[in-house]
Chain A
Amino acid sequence: MKQLTPRRRSFLNDLSGYAFISPWLLGFIAFSIIPILFSLYYSFTEYDILGEPIFNGLENFRRMLGDELFWQSLKVTFFYAFVSVPLRLVFAFFVAMLFNRGTRAIRIYQAIYYVPSLVGGSIAIAVMWRRLFMADGALNAALTKIGIVTDISWIGNPSTAIWTLILLAVWQFGSSMLIFLAGLRQIPKELYEAASIDGANPLKKFTHITVPQITPVIFFNLVMQLINGFTVFTQAFVVSGGSGDPLNSTLVYALYLYQRAFKYYDMGYGSALAWVLVLIIGVMTGIVFKTSNSWVFYEAKEGK
């Protein structure tokens, strides 16, 4: 083996390091950095894609203040995210607790409960969901069977339509369940044994061992799913037929943004809306992180 001077070696390391990460680095510049800069610029312009962008300062943001649909979409999105994400996590946690035992059938149950998460993002499911909750859909047929006769269209009623979307999200709790289950299985058995010796009852064990040990996992999932919740698009688009109807009750933020930018070619306003979304997600993530100290338990790191 040839001996290299340290300087030459570090130069070679730089060279091969950047060579290896070059696909990502080039993509990062071309498909993230440049678009982000353009987006920032467009958000201060009026731009219909055919002409040139015309700088109009803070006009787009001022326009939002008086834009009823903007406020409506914010309302819908906050409601959707803050109802569906906690519900899904609670369900996932509850079922994971139930499955955290040694029965052989668990593997099969686990797989079955995961199937909705597996297919839930597809258009086929969104289209089916729409049909399921129509006036002549399966839900009303099933309700009739148990004696509740109704011809309400859950999709067409402004007060229930958003709940069909929330249900679609909660229905897909399987992936979080698997993550929680993996977390539960990593809790050292010795902790429970020690607690038993000290005479702790199951409830004590749950609140003093299980919950603190699992909170980092819950925390990570909460942040990621809130972000996903704020940017939900496909399901709302398909279930509402692209309109956000009835009465804009399913007009989620990403759908409104899409309509502005690609239906009305209001690219400047669309970009401004996107930056408000970034701001919201940033603030929400910040709040979750800031408050996490009081409720997330991180194991004291052993000296590594």
Chain B
Amino acid sequence: MLNRKTKYLLGQTTFHIVVILLGFLMLYPILWMVSNSFKTNAEIFGSSSLIPKSLSLENYIRGWKFNNTITFTTFFKNSFYYTILSTFGAVLASSLVAYGFARVPFRGRSFWYACMFLTMMIPYQVVMVPQFIIFHKIGWINSFKPLIVPQFAGLPFFIFLMVQFIRQIPYELDDSAKIDGCNRFMIFTKILFPLIKPAVITSTIFSFYWRWDDFLGPLLFLNKPKLFTVSLALRMFSDPQTSTDWSAIFAMGTLSLLPVLIIFLIFQKYIVQGLATTGLKG
């Protein structure tokens, strides 16, 4: 007979072993990619090994040069430009709109709020074709405008998140600011915006992720290689029509994940919080 303590320890150990094994399996594809970024093309062929023979950075150098006329310097610049400007616009606009919905009792408020929810349900495929035609007619194709300008309207998901946050802040704060002679805009910038910081940070992180990974938008609106984002470049790099330099692709692929992983390590707390609030209070 096992006593209680041994039984408990045995249970705990099994739990940790199972979880760690499954965790390894989950991370394996990513580790395999990182490891492949150091291997030669011959080494990758038919191998599941995670340990490269040498740690040379050759693939990174070759990959970065891309096709020698345009390099990944351009692609990373484009990606950062698109991501940062879009994120700035989306978060700023969302916070303004959220304040309006959460605090100002104007006529038609609930109607527009419902409209906003409805747009979350409409697939992008519906507006994709006419948006392309409109942007084509006003000469926005092959510029970042069709990708960035719509972000300055704010994102329903972020607006919703911030409205939830603002509603938890007591009205007394607004009232006392009003007595001190603040108008609505000042109340927003001086009092509420600093208080909804967690929601702002969460939105910033998610916006960064979504723009950084965005593929369909750039695919539709950017056709010149010098405008390509990292996503588009990686996809062109792996085009099955040409013989593929897998080592170089894996090297650039690994680099493309770095910003995402670094942000995750720094802001983990906010991501978990964001998922929890939006997933629960839907």
Which A residues are closer than 8 A to B by beta carbons? Answer: 1, 10, 13-21, 23-28, 30-32, 34-36, 38-39, 42, 49, 95, 98, 103, 105, 109-116, 118-119, 121-125, 127-132, 136-142, 145, 171, 175-176, 178-179, 182-183, 186, 217, 220-221, 224, 227, 230-231, 233-234, 237-238, 241, 254, 257-258, 261-262, 267, 270-271, 273-275, 277-278, 281, 285
Beta-carbon contact of A115 and B234 below 8 Å: no
- Bound together, the chains give a CA A18 to CA B99 distance in angstroms of 11
For B240-262 the 0/1 string (1 means CB < 8 A from A) is: 10000010011011101100110
Q: Let me know if B191 is at the binding interface, CB within 8 A.
A: no
- Bound together, the chains give a CA A109 to CA B17 distance in angstroms of 12
Beta-carbon contact of B216 and A127 below 8 Å: no
Nearest chain B residue, comparing its CB with the CB of A110:
B272
Partner of B126, one of A13, A34, A39: A39
The interface on chain B, measured as residues whose beta carbon lies within 8 A of the other chain's beta carbons, has a size of: 96
Distance (Å) between the CB of A231 and the closest chain B CB? 5
B residues less than 8 Å from A116 (CB atoms): 26-27, 29-30
Known A-B contacts A20-B97, A24-B159, A275-B126; A267 and B153 likewise in contact (beta carbons under 8 Å): no
Known A-B contacts A112-B27, A131-B246, A138-B48; A119 and B119 likewise in contact (beta carbons under 8 Å): no
Beta-carbon contact of A21 and B280 below 8 Å: no
Q: Let me know if B282 is at the binding interface, CB within 8 A.
A: yes
A residues less than 8 Å from B264 (CB atoms): 111, 115, 118
Tell me the B88-139 residues at the A interface (CB within 8 Å): 93-94, 96-97, 99-101, 104-107, 109, 112, 115-116, 119, 121-134, 136
- Listed by A's residue number, 29 A-B pairs whose Cβ atoms lie within 8 Å are A17-B105, A21-B96, A23-B96, A26-B153, A30-B153, A38-B130, A39-B127, A98-B19, A111-B264, A114-B271, A123-B213, A123-B231, A123-B235, A124-B252, A128-B250, A136-B45, A171-B26, A178-B275, A220-B280, A231-B125, A238-B215, A238-B238, A241-B240, A254-B125, A261-B129, A267-B129, A273-B125, A274-B126, A275-B126
Number of A-B contacts (CB under 8 A): 264
Partner of B93, one of A18, A23, A110, A113: A23
Distance (Å) between the CB of A218 and the closest chain B CB? 10
Partner of B100, one of A17, A109, A227: A17
Beta-carbon contact of A130 and B126 below 8 Å: no
Beta-carbon contact of A281 and B123 below 8 Å: yes
Nearest chain A residue, comparing its CB with the CB of B188:
A20
Nearest chain B residue, comparing its CB with the CB of A145:
B48
Beta-carbon contact of B46 and A136 below 8 Å: yes
Beta-carbon contact of B280 and A182 below 8 Å: yes
A residues less than 8 Å from B185 (CB atoms): 16
- Chain B interface mostly: helix
Beta-carbon contact of A270 and B33 below 8 Å: no
B residues less than 8 Å from A23 (CB atoms): 93, 96-97, 152-154
B residues less than 8 Å from A271 (CB atoms): 126, 129-130
